[in-house]
Amino acid sequence: MPAPERIPPRSMSSPESPRDTELLARGELTVRGRVREASNAVLYCSVAHEGREAACVYKPVAGEQPLWDFPDGTLAQREVAAYEISEATGWGLVPPTVLRDGPYGEGMVQLWIEADPGARLLALTEDEEAGEGWKAVGPAQIDEDRTALLVHADTPELRRLAVLDAVINNGDRKGGHLLPAPGGRLYGIDHGVTFHVEDKLRTLLWGWAGEELPAEAAAVLDSLDRSLAPGAPLATRLAELLTGAEIAAVRARVEALRATGRHPEPSGQWPSIPWPPV
């Protein structure tokens, strides 16, 4: 029997192949280990199907910890919904993600992303302003007597992710959820705390707050507005993953972004920075 075709950790700048989602959805899932740092159960797995094999992450619904502000057992569906929205934008910011049965029941399965250890997206500086190529987030306490300015990179890819987070209402965009891949590709992961009907946007990507949206983002939002119309394929798919009220809230956020033409600013009614930030 020939050896399976191993799918390398995703790092290319080309669009995802539909074969990737087929592999994740239909392949044999084998648990290889556990990501201990995660608050919910996150299992590192391999998945194999018809001569193809890849590394992936499996988050069973049974391993989700209850949250006071989200319905129990819904985080996996929200992760898949974030992938569906990301694909609709054409930006491919979320790794291929499916909802399927696994060794510990139904859960989210996502292609494993190997981050580029040399990429820098976040930094602390003792300067009063962000330098060239960086955007200021705000002051950060280093120790009892010293603060520094938290900054993030000013890149088109990171800005796209900030727009996506505003659409999906991401309540937990930490530094560790940003995965720069070799070749300049950027991915965002861990989208379980998303799609709440109330404003929950908490992120480290506030550097563009209040600024005019790029023309590219405005065009994507126009397309999303059409894709979210009742009966459209995206809206129909989201109805399998989210409640009607949550889908209506997505539409409202897209409409608000189109109306203002600007990146959102912190509401002041909810902590704007996730904790811990990394």
CA atoms within 13 A on the CB side of 191: 31
**Local confidence band at 6 (pLDDT 50, 70, 90 cut-offs):** very low
Look up residue 184 and give its amino acid: G
The C-alpha atoms of residue 118 and residue 130 are separated, in whole angstroms, by: 20
Q: In degrees, to the nearest 5, what angle opens at C-alpha 234 toward C-alphas 228 and 240?
A: 110
Query: What per-residue confidence (pLDDT) applies to 278?
Result: 66
**Local confidence band at 199 (pLDDT 50, 70, 90 cut-offs):** very high
Residue 46 CB burial class (10 angstroms; 0-12, 13-18, ≥19): middle
Mean residue pLDDT of the chain comes to 90
The percentage of residues in the chain with a pLDDT greater than 70, rounded to a whole number, is 93
Mean pLDDT of 23-30: 96
- Of 24-33, 80-89, 127-136, minimum mean pLDDT range: 127-136
Mean pLDDT of 210-231: 97
Task: Pick 237 or 276 by higher pLDDT.
Answer: 237
Mean pLDDT of 228-242: 97
Would you tell me how many other CB atoms lie within 10 Å of the CB of residue 139? 11
Cis (ω within 30 of 0) for the bond into 276? Answer: yes
Query: What per-residue confidence (pLDDT) applies to 19?
Result: 82
Angle between helices 215-227 and 244-260 (to 10 degrees): 150
Task: Pick 7 or 236 by higher pLDDT.
Answer: 236
Query: What per-residue confidence (pLDDT) applies to 8?
Result: 44
The percentage of residues in the chain with a pLDDT greater than 90, rounded to a whole number, is 73
Q: What end-to-end distance do the CA atoms of the chain give, in Å? A: 44
Query: What per-residue confidence (pLDDT) applies to 39?
Result: 82
Instruction: Reply yes or no on whether the pLDDT at 206 is more than 60.
Output: yes
Instruction: Reply yes or no on whether the pLDDT at 13 is more than 70.
Output: no
Query: What per-residue confidence (pLDDT) applies to 93?
Result: 96
pTM of the model: 0.91
**Local confidence band at 92 (pLDDT 50, 70, 90 cut-offs):** very high
- Of 20-24, 40-44, 129-133, 265-269, minimum mean pLDDT range: 265-269
**CB contact at 8 A, 166 and 253:** yes
Of 156, 154, 153, 173, which Cα lies nearest the Cα of 165?
Answer: 173
